Amino acid sequence: MTAEIRHSCGLFGIANHPEAAQLAYLGLYAQQHRGQESAGICTANGQSILRRAGLGLVTDAIGPRDLTELANPLAIGHVRYSTTGSCSESNTQPLLVTCSIGQVAIGHNGNLVNAGEIRREYEHHGHIFTTTSDTEVILHMLADRQFVERPDPLTSVLRHLCGSYTLLLMYPDRLEAIRDPSGNRPLCLGRLGEAWVVASETCALDIIDAEYVRDVAPGEIVTLSLTGLQSRRFTTPDASRLGYCIFEHVYFADPSSFVFGENAHLVRMEMGRALAREAPADADLVIPVPNCARCAALGYHETSRIPLGRGFTTNHYIGRSFIQPTQTIRDLTVRLKLNPIRGSVAGRRLVVVEDSIVRGTTTRGKMQSLRRAGAKEIHLRVASPPIRNPCYYGIDFPSRQELVANERTVEQIREYLGVDSLAYLSLEGMLAAAETANSNFCHACFSGDYPIPIDPCFQKDMFEQRQLRFFDALGRVRDVGSMPSPPAADAARD
Ligand code: SF4
C-alpha cells in the first residue's frame, strides 16, 4: 500500500436536478479517497452562486444546514489534497469569485506546470491573489480583458494552460466540464433522468444511480445547464499528446471505478497475474498488504495457485495514514492501523503483494512486523515497477532523493526492506495489463518519460510549494485541535 503519496482532488458536478446539492455531497463522499484535506460545494439557480466549504472530510466541511441552504438545481463539488498551495481555508475549492464577468466558481484536479509563470506576470501588473493554489490563475485569466474580448474566452484561456487539469467551472446558469489535451486525469459523464452528471470517477455515478454515458474527451469542454448538454473542443485531439495517469490504475482509483475505459479492479488483477508470471515464488500463502493490493494479490493467487490468505487485521477507525501531515504521525498511524495475524503468518513462507513502494519506510515497518509475528520467509512482490521519478502532474510524490528506488538496485532495496526476495512488475507488464485499444499512458514516475514538458522554473516552484506545505503541516501538528478528524471507515475504498 502506497501510504506515502497523495492524490490531488476529486470533482463532481450535476445540472438540472432539484436535489443537486445532496447528490453532490454523495458524489464527493464516494470520491473521498481522492482528497481528504478539504471539501466544498457550490450551487447555482440561474442568477447567483452559493458556496459552502471547509477543511477536513466531506462530513466535516458540509453539514445538513449547509445542504438546505444550498438547494439549487446546479451544483459542483470538490475534495482536495493540496499538491500546490498549502492546506488552508483560503485554498479550499471550489474557489468562488465575483469579477468583471460576474460570479465564477472553479474546481480543479491536477497541476498547472506554467501557473507560477502566469501568476508572476499578473502580480507584476498589480493583480492580487488570495490563495496559494495554482488554480486561481485561471480565474484571473477569465477576468482578463485580453481574453474577455475574444469570441470564446474560455477556449482562449485553456489554450494558454500547460499541465494536467480536469476542471469544473460554474457560472450562475451553467457548468463547464473540461479535460486537458493529454487526458492526464479522468473525468466521466453520466445521466440521471433529466439531469447530467460529471465526476472524476464512475464510483460517484454509481452511488447516485446515474448511468455512465462516456468519458469527457481530452481537449473537450462539455457545458451542462438546465436546458441540456453541449460539447465543443478547445484543441484538436492528438493521440501523440495523450498521457493518461497509469497510477490511477495502480493505486488511486476506487476498484469499482472504470478509469480510461477499464475497470480498476480488473486491471489490478491482471497486474497481479502478470506479476505471478514474471516473478514466481515458492511459498505457502499469498497475502495482500491491506487494503489496496487486494486486487493484485487475487490475480497473483489465481495464476500461482498459492492459497490466498490474510496477514493483517485493519483498524477501520484510523484514518488513511497519508492524510496525516508528517512522516512521524504517518508512521504511528500505520502501526495503529495494521496488526499482523500471528496465527496466519507464523512459520509460513509468504508472498506479500504490494501495489507500489514509494519511500519504503511504511513497507519496511510492515515487513518487520510480519517477521516479529513469526513469518518464516517473506517474498515481496510489487505490482508496478520501481518509482524513480517525481510526479509534476498533480500527485504529491516525495522528492527524487526520498524515493527508495532512487539510485538503488533491486537487491539494495531488498536489503533495506529486510525481505528474502523482492521483485517488481516490469513497465511492459504493467502497461499491457492496463492497455486499451487506443490508450496512451503517462508512466513518468516509473520511466522518467514525461509526456507534458516540464519547465525548470516549475520544478523550483514545486520545491517551494512542498516547503510551504511542510511548514503548514508543522503548524497544524502543534495545534492538534485544528487537525482533520479521521474518516469513519478506511475500508470504503477497498
Ligand atoms: Fe501519474 Fe506517475 Fe504520470 Fe504522475 S508521473 S501523472 S503519478 S503516471
Closest CA to 10 of 256, 252, 249, 224: 252
* pLDDT score of 393: 87
Closest CA to 118 of 94, 147, 82, 95: 147
- Ligand 1 first shell, C-beta below 6 A: 184, 245-247, 391, 393, 395, 442-445
Q: How far is CA 337 from CA 244, 289, 333, in A?
A: 32, 12, 6
* pLDDT score of 86: 59
Together in a domain, 293 and 160: no
Q: Average pLDDT in the 447-462 region? A: 71
pLDDT score of 492 more than 90 = no
Together in a domain, 57 and 129: yes
Q: Which residues contact 451 (CB under 8 A, 6 or more apart)?
A: 182, 184, 241, 242, 243, 440, 442, 444
DSSP string, 300-341: HHHHH-PPB---EEE-TTSPPGGGSSSHHHHHHHHHHHEEE-
pLDDT score of 442 more than 80 = yes
* pLDDT score of 294: 95
Query: What is the distance in A from the centroid of ligand 1 to the CA of 340?
Result: 31
Together in a domain, 271 and 231: no
- Provide the pairing of β-strand 49-55 with 74-80: unpaired
pLDDT score of 457 more than 70 = no
Q: C-alpha angle 198/200/201, rounded to 5°?
A: 100
pLDDT digits 0-9 by tens, 100-111 = 999 999 999 999
**What is the domain extent for residue 75?**
10-242
Together in a domain, 289 and 329: yes
Label residues 236-254 b or e (16+ Cβ within 10 Å = b). eeeeebbbbbbbbbbbbbb
Whether residue 456 lies inside any domain: the answer is no
- Which CATH number goes with the domain that contains 95? 3.60.20.10
Query: What is the distance in A from the centroid of ligand 1 to the CA of 445?
Result: 5
* pLDDT score of 397: 76
Using the atom order of ligand 1, give the atom closest to the CA of residue 248: 1
Q: Where are the alpha helices (DSSP H) in 374-434?
A: 410-417, 427-434
* pLDDT score of 362: 86
Q: Round to whole Å and give the CA distance between 3 and 323.
A: 9
Catalytic residue among 9, 203, 292, 391: 9
Together in a domain, 164 and 301: no
Whether residue 227 lies inside any domain: the answer is yes
Q: What pairs with residue 288 in β-bridges? A: 353
pLDDT digits 0-9 by tens, 195-222 = 999 999 999 999 999 999 999 999 999 9
pLDDT score of 87 more than 70 = no
Percent of the chain with pLDDT over 90: 73
Q: Round to whole Å and give the CA distance between 254 and 249.
A: 9
Together in a domain, 306 and 350: yes
- Provide the pairing of β-strand 441-442 with 244-245: parallel
Together in a domain, 238 and 270: no
Residue 437: band (very low, low, confident or very high) from pLDDT cuts 50, 70, 90: low
- Which CATH number goes with the domain that contains 296? 3.40.50.2020
pLDDT score of 291 more than 90 = no
Q: Which residues contact 268 (CB under 8 A, 6 or more apart)?
A: 249, 250, 255, 295, 296, 299, 355, 383
Q: Which residues contact 103 (CB under 8 A, 6 or more apart)?
A: 48, 49, 96, 97, 171, 172
Which residue among 165, 182, 200, 246 has the greatest number of ligand 1 atoms within 8 angstroms of its CB, and so is best to mutate? 246
Whether residue 86 lies inside any domain: the answer is yes
* pLDDT score of 292: 79
pLDDT score of 398 more than 90 = no
* pLDDT score of 66: 97
> Are 174 and 225 a contacting pair, CB within 8 Å?
yes
Q: Round to whole Å and give the CA distance between 382 and 356.
A: 6
Closest CA to 222 of 233, 212, 206, 213: 233
The answer to which of 106-115, 226-235, 390-399, 461-470 has the lowest mean pLDDT is 461-470
Whether residue 253 lies inside any domain: the answer is no
Whether residue 291 lies inside any domain: the answer is yes
Together in a domain, 267 and 394: yes
Using the atom order of ligand 1, give the atom closest to the CA of residue 184: 6
| Residue nearest atom 6 of ligand 1, based on CA coordinates | 245
Whether residue 3 lies inside any domain: the answer is no
- Tally the residues of the chain: 494
pLDDT digits 0-9 by tens, 130-161 = 998 899 999 999 999 999 999 999 999 999 99
Rounded (10°) angle between helices 456-478 and 115-124: 90
- For residue 166 the three cell numbers come to 480536469
> Are 337 and 315 a contacting pair, CB within 8 Å?
yes
* pLDDT score of 285: 98
Q: Which residues contact 37 (CB under 8 A, 6 or more apart)?
A: 55, 56, 80, 81, 82, 87, 323, 484
* pLDDT score of 109: 95
Concerning whether 292 is annotated as a catalytic residue, the answer is no
Using the atom order of ligand 1, give the atom closest to the CA of residue 5: 7
The total number of structural domains that make up the chain: 2
pLDDT digits 0-9 by tens, 265-280 = 999 999 999 999 999 9
Residue type, 313: T
pLDDT score of 5 more than 90 = no
Q: What mean pLDDT is reported for the chain?
A: 87
Which residue among 7, 393, 450, 454 has the greatest number of ligand 1 atoms within 8 angstroms of its CB, and so is best to mutate? 393
- For residue 278 the three cell numbers come to 514474471
Whether residue 220 lies inside any domain: the answer is yes
The answer to which of 146-150, 327-331, 443-447 has the lowest mean pLDDT is 327-331
Together in a domain, 181 and 284: no
3-state secondary structure (DSSP) of residue 194: coil
pLDDT score of 321 more than 70 = no
Together in a domain, 293 and 416: yes
| Residue nearest atom 2 of ligand 1, based on CA coordinates | 445
- For residue 129 the three cell numbers come to 491573489
> Are 268 and 207 a contacting pair, CB within 8 Å?
no
pLDDT digits 0-9 by tens, 173-185 = 999 999 999 999 9
Top mean-pLDDT range of 80-84, 260-264, 316-320, 398-402: 260-264
Closest CA to 335 of 360, 312, 303: 312
Together in a domain, 138 and 101: yes
| Residue nearest atom 4 of ligand 1, based on CA coordinates | 391
Whether residue 33 lies inside any domain: the answer is yes
DSSP letter at 132 equals S
Q: Which residues contact 17 (CB under 8 A, 6 or more apart)?
A: 23, 73, 75, 192, 193, 194, 195
More confident residue, 478 or 427: 427
Together in a domain, 203 and 326: no
Query: What is the distance in A from the centroid of ligand 1 to the CA of 384?
Result: 12
pLDDT score of 323 more than 50 = no
Q: What pairs with residue 11 in β-bridges? A: 78
Q: How far is CA 352 from the centre of its chain?
A: 25
